[in-house]
Structure 1
């Protein structure tokens, strides 16, 4: 049983300036989140009419007729591939381009167009067309993913047959992006601890967190401008269809990972007649309410942490007593967290070690078994030498913080901006209380919640400059779409297996590939059963009959 303590500042120190520890535990370099819903005025309005399909670029039926003239111009714009900017770090074989998109698909002429950055890894053989991809987030850079990882993430067979195309969704990275703070400001948002933390009352701690959320949202609006209202996933789905047409493909071939599966699933549902070959690996379920998303993830991260501890006991380097079992190790970690929150030790770079940093380090290593030894190093360094460097290194890798203090992307600025538009905002006290009760039951580490803490919901989205217009989350169906693949890892902590099962059930033509193992994205683990099935589907159109277990 989890050993819980009573710490009045626990939820502030557990996540620094983040509104709640649970909400930020969701985000990660290749994570989920983004449940979209029906469109609404001023946000993601469907751009396509119901008329007979038109022609574009002489490449076949690339879009429906009845488009607003401003959208026709954007759908028919040419893409000019050329060398990538030097700061992308791309190889000589990678090509880059920038195209325009409407800021607001509902009223395209109301604002100046925004820019979308693209990158292409050309096929090494005769190309079957473009294979678009998104690595997740929300907020992860598809440009960086393809430019830096495309040559080894995708198999030789896929690179032989497809032009691999990544793009940064609106609000992200090299595209017209959400901007909130400089590096020092992001440090304050992620790692900040109030100067008077040791003497703060519970009410003062809560108010500090609330003010941090308010100020962060205000900073994002000031630096980003009107784009901040239009970075929702439905707008990104519209962008993706436009990109498909711009590269001259009459059907979309797409490989979505983690949150990128939500973009793909929403595309299948929205444009079933334009679906080519689509694979969703690490799928999110668009019907799961935001609080249930958090509960499901925390349950699976807890399972992954217990699996890590069992594995740790088999190593001589493990700092925990195997005779005490996982319960003893959990108690040791909880005591460690309690101690740092009481003493607030300062690292060499001036940052304060809190339970939030330790939690982030744990979370960062649960995406892959290959990272577990680093977590063992972190625990050993602290327990034996009071050295927090590895904890901070792991946490920094999670947030994209570089050794020089800079951040490698705007992911944790784009993340709340997208989420706060995509999820219905929950303010009902009974629902929030129930969520916190369930959260306390599934989370391995933490403190008992006070009455006031039981009523803390999503402080960031409650105080975001633009409220979500989504009233209800809808299942995806994709009626009439050709077969698509949903790939899932049985012990995936970030996107639980049951989400993939649900998405495969919702989509009319989906077939499920089940990979038994740990970690997040199945294809990246190199299992020949998974890789072969995905490659054959993309290259030959082969669909595993009745699904597949690997």
Structure 2
């Protein structure tokens, strides 16, 4: 959480794996793919795009195939130029091929290409992989696709780790943070080759339909995590008759305004902090003693202290409250990272910010001073286009909720909104989706998910005409391949055989 990143839609880390079965189900047929592009119902102006033949090349040490899909820059005016969407394919390993399975890991801004390349063995279990060509792609604006570009590493350091002048809440602090937001937004406009008006979830969803078609599939099979659920839900609402087997894990609610998205996440992360401190208990390496409330109070005191007196790091950066909170948030995505958080907090209490800074760097995809992706720039571009500016009343409502329900996080959660300086007005709307007539869509929510709170999964499943809610009872972000065989069995059965639960499923 930076002083100038007020809209906190958090990115997803890689997931782990496990698998099994479920009864009481109905069947969703999945037509076999064609070897030629699917151009059925395509208008003449889109035919050059939908009819393109992919030039697949072996890549990544010959373990995968890679290709580039050419998409309209402006879907409303396909004659106004094109952009590139990079895709990667892990071929079906054996058995009867169902088709292609597109995968998105979240963000917005996380590379689906890298996700499949680096985690294909953990992404889907073998009985799913043998039936599908697993397809990773970098959405428009991201990574190897035609990408948003804003500034160099020093500029990103200033944007993500910089500490505004003055005292938090003062006119000087607000002015300093606002100037940094404006510098970043201006740099994005100057360096992104005119892409900014076309970087939205709706545009990326239309790109997914194009990918489906050029792969020769008549329906879209899809596994989306976190923001990838917003992408999948938007696709389903735009193209309900083309939905194949769709799984949306760590669901977002497309009807929630931006300010309330941030508020729900702040509350979710504070609940996860409570779970972390309850687990911490009387462990020898727990940085604080006493009750959960006592430990939260100690953490609040630490945040306040480093906000007043940032802790210097060996590389010359300083860790203030915003960077400390980013590092904390990064470790709350999975209980497996709680041991790291215990160490990081103890170290900061002793004046050493190395571990917490490494956690913040991982969140921001910064390695040895180099940003290895454009995730921050793409993240900002998508959010600024997807979320209309909320009224002052709604923003105040969000801040009041966070102050009441997440008091430790509240002073550092809402900073200056960089989207207020964005050079392009937003085009997105916040509204329910229904996808009338779509095949069953599995929506997975985890009761203790901090980044995509469980209530969003409940809401999305209810909005979708064919939504089926799968609940994982537990902590952490997302539910599939997290060691819960009940969840994994249900998803695997749907992806492999097309069998979906006939009613909502709760997995303890």
TM-score norm. by structure 1 comes to 0.85
- The aligned residue for residue 413 of structure 1 is 377
State the distance in 2 between where 1:418 and 1:447 align: 24
State the distance in 2 between where 1:73 and 1:27 align: 36
Alignment of 1:431 with 2:394, yes or no, is yes
Residue 524 of structure 1: which of 481, 489, 507 is its match?
Answer: 481
* Cα deviations by residue, 1:162-193 (Å, 9 ceiling, x for unpaired): 11001000000110000001112111110112
State the distance in 2 between where 1:519 and 1:435 align: 23
- The aligned residue for residue 2 of structure 2 is 15
Q: Using the TM superposition, give the Cα deviation of residue 199 of structure 1 relative to its aligned residue in structure 2, in angstroms.
A: 7.2
Residue 272 of structure 1: which of 240, 249, 252 is its match?
Answer: 240
- Listed as ranges, the matches of 1:431-450 within 5 Å are 431-445=394-408
* Cα deviations by residue, 1:350-387 (Å, 9 ceiling, x for unpaired): 0001111211111011110000000001112222x321
- The aligned residue for residue 177 of structure 1 is 147
CA contact 1:378–1:391 (8 Å) conserved in 2: yes
- The aligned residue for residue 210 of structure 2 is 242
Q: Using the TM superposition, give the Cα deviation of residue 257 of structure 1 relative to its aligned residue in structure 2, in angstroms.
A: 0.7
Distance 1:147 1:271, change over 3 A: same
- The aligned residue for residue 53 of structure 1 is none
Q: Using the TM superposition, give the Cα deviation of residue 15 of structure 1 relative to its aligned residue in structure 2, in angstroms.
A: 2.6
State the distance in 1 between where 2:167 and 2:421 align: 26
SS in 1 for 2:436: coil
State the distance in 2 between where 1:498 and 1:443 align: 17
- Listed as ranges, the matches of 1:106-125 within 5 Å are 106-111=76-81, 113-125=82-94
Residue 432 of structure 2: which of 471, 475, 482 is its match?
Answer: 475
CA contact 1:62–1:249 (8 Å) conserved in 2: no
CA contact 2:266–2:409 (8 Å) conserved in 1: no
SS in 2 for 1:523: coil
Q: Using the TM superposition, give the Cα deviation of residue 119 of structure 1 relative to its aligned residue in structure 2, in angstroms.
A: 0.5
Q: Using the TM superposition, give the Cα deviation of residue 83 of structure 1 relative to its aligned residue in structure 2, in angstroms.
A: 2.4
Residue 28 of structure 1: which of 1, 7, 11 is its match?
Answer: 11
SS in 2 for 1:117: strand
Alignment of 1:258 with 2:221, yes or no, is no
CA contact 1:30–1:258 (8 Å) conserved in 2: no
SS in 2 for 1:176: coil
* Cα deviations by residue, 1:314-344 (Å, 9 ceiling, x for unpaired): 42111211xx211211221122122222222
- Listed as ranges, the matches of 1:124-523 within 5 Å are 124-126=93-95, 127-194=97-164, 197=165, 202-321=170-289, 324-383=290-349, 385-402=350-367, 404-426=368-390, 428-445=391-408, 459-470=417-428, 472-523=429-480
SS in 2 for 1:100: strand
State the distance in 2 between where 1:502 and 1:350 align: 45
Q: Which range is displaced more, 232-241 or 524-533? A: 524-533
SS in 1 for 2:254: coil
- The aligned residue for residue 37 of structure 1 is none
What is the root-mean-square deviation in Å for CA atoms of aligned residues? 2.1
- The aligned residue for residue 495 of structure 2 is 538
Q: Using the TM superposition, give the Cα deviation of residue 518 of structure 1 relative to its aligned residue in structure 2, in angstroms.
A: 0.7
* Cα deviations by residue, 1:387-424 (Å, 9 ceiling, x for unpaired): 1100101111111111x111121111011101111111
- The aligned residue for residue 17 of structure 2 is none
CA contact 1:83–1:92 (8 Å) conserved in 2: yes
- The aligned residue for residue 48 of structure 1 is none
State the distance in 2 between where 1:496 and 1:96 align: 35
SS in 2 for 1:543: strand
Distance 1:447 1:364, change over 3 A: closer
Structure 1 residue runs without a partner (length 5+): 1-13, 32-55, 85-89
- The aligned residue for residue 4 of structure 1 is none
TM-score norm. by structure 2 comes to 0.92
State the distance in 1 between where 2:409 and 2:466 align: 42
CA contact 2:37–2:213 (8 Å) conserved in 1: no
State the distance in 2 between where 1:336 and 1:266 align: 41
Distance 1:289 1:182, change over 3 A: same
Distance 1:446 1:479, change over 3 A: closer
SS in 1 for 2:192: helix
- The aligned residue for residue 41 of structure 2 is 64
State the distance in 2 between where 1:201 and 1:365 align: 27
Q: Using the TM superposition, give the Cα deviation of residue 438 of structure 1 relative to its aligned residue in structure 2, in angstroms.
A: 2.1
* Cα deviations by residue, 1:281-324 (Å, 9 ceiling, x for unpaired): 11111111111111111111111100000111142111211xx2
* Cα deviations by residue, 1:135-186 (Å, 9 ceiling, x for unpaired): 1001111000001111222111111111100100000011000000111211
Q: Using the TM superposition, give the Cα deviation of residue 229 of structure 1 relative to its aligned residue in structure 2, in angstroms.
A: 0.8
SS in 1 for 2:370: coil
Distance 1:164 1:295, change over 3 A: same
